[in-house]
A and B are shown apart, each in its own frame.
Chain A
Amino acid sequence: MSELYSLAVLGLMSSLFLGLLRVLRGPGAADRMLAVQLIGTTGVGMLLLLGPLLGQRALIDVALILALLAAVAAIAFTGEPRESRDD
């Protein structure tokens, strides 16, 4: 099982690398935000795999917090302030 976890972590790492390309290239802010979402979800997956792999059970709590708060960051990006006059 452990070798499979290692391979899976490396697979997710390459997925993250692809997401990084999108974060750096853009072209718009929304595209970058999208890539941040990808990095967040991939990070959650990696932490869930690293938990049993490194023998650190608490990493699942880190994954939970990461999942919840990455969502908050994405929502903050799209907030429309009250002064804006269009709809």
Chain B
Amino acid sequence: MNPVSLQLFDVLLLLSIVGLAWASLASPDDRRSVILFMALGLLLALAWGRLLAPDVALAEAAIGAGLSGALLLAALREQPRREAPGATEAVAKRGSSRLQAMTQWVVTLLCAGLAGILGWVLVHIFAGPPLDRLTQSVSANLGVSGVSNPVTAVLLNFRGYDTLLELAVLLTAVLGILALGPGRAGYQPAGPIFDALARSLAPLLILVSAYLLWVGAHAPGGAFQAGATLAAAGVVLRLAGRQRIGLPPEGALRLVMTAGVGLFLAVGLSLLLMGRPFLGYPPAWAGALILVIESAAMLSIAATLVLAFIGGRLPAHGIPAAEPATRRREAITTAAAPERGGEEQSGC
């Protein structure tokens, strides 16, 4: 792409991103902010693609654009609609307006200082010679890492410890979500059009997530992107009214959620017992070990995100969390579409 067009594209994209971010933050209505945030996610995925970082673009498209939007909208549903007054009105209404104003000024100055420092750092970096020592050492060692995608090599091999800790953070999030108690009540059973789409979209998403997991060894992809896509399949089924979305019962589900960290630790510790450093894969086994760890991680990530969407524990098998009036309505829709209704009654 010739430099002029590329620059024009960059400028327009940048303006859109900054404008959307500002509008999303400055919007008085929560729902509007969330929708603007979703648009921002889409544009950010585009920006990552333009910056030639497809792995990050995949993650941003899956998590930032799709799932974050769904999670935020589901959470908003539980809150009463709140139209916040303008900032100055809110400040005037409260007694401690002086403290409020001072806090805002301090925060603004700190943010401006941070922006100044970052700007100086960026100018400094671009003025000097290219700093690619890390890139060179990654390329030099790619042969023994077991994969040919440098991003996966860094995430799962050279910096595997960081990824282990990230998965532990996800596990902690799951514990927090489970502590919230029973999840939200779920969604109405879908009409025939959406039901038909859900029946094709969910399997397609599962297939695409398996593809992303497999292709991550030699092309952009990997466990996080695959896990987010798998979670999207669960979210679609949940939105179509299926309560348990075919997940296993409680005990097996907890096993799946801990599988990511558990398997990673098991591999690391067994390597330690065999005399190698913690998570130091023998080069002949590295590829296979990475695939195994990534598969377990994908399942854990998907389970975490789906549980976050549900907002708590899954309903017990076969008992939908619906009141009698809704069940009567379900009976009517069951009469209209026996096949779909049959699935609902079996507690799917």
Interface residues of A (CB under 8 A from B): 2-3, 5-7, 9-10, 13-14, 16-17, 20, 23-24, 26, 29, 32-33, 35-36, 39-40, 43, 46-47, 50, 53-54, 56-59, 61-62, 64-66, 68-73, 75-77, 79-85, 87
Contacts and interface: CB of A to CB of B under 8 A. Distances in A.
By DSSP majority rule, is chain A's interface helix, strand, loop, or mixed?
A: helix
B69 A82 contact: no
Given A54-B52, A66-B42, A66-B45, A72 B235 contact: yes
Contact of B73 (A14, A23, A26, A76): A76
A65 B225 contact: yes
Nearest to A13: B12
A36 B39 contact: yes
Interface string B198-238: 00010011001000100100011100010001001001100
Contacts of B9: 9-10, 13
Contact of B186 (A3, A23, A36, A82): A82
A76 B70 contact: yes
Contacts, number: 168
Interface residues of B, number: 65
Given A62-B58, A80-B187, A20 B45 contact: no
Contact of B39 (A3, A39, A84): A39
B1 A82 contact: no
A10 B8 contact: yes
A13 B47 CA distance: 12
A20 B232 contact: no
Interface string B31-75: 110011011001101100110101001100110011101100110
A10 B52 CA distance: 18
Contacts of B43: 39, 43
A58 B51 CA distance: 13
A46 B1 CA distance: 13
A31 B208 CA distance: 30
B203 to A, nearest CB: 12
A62 B61 contact: yes
Given A16-B16, A69-B229, A84-B188, A33 B35 contact: yes
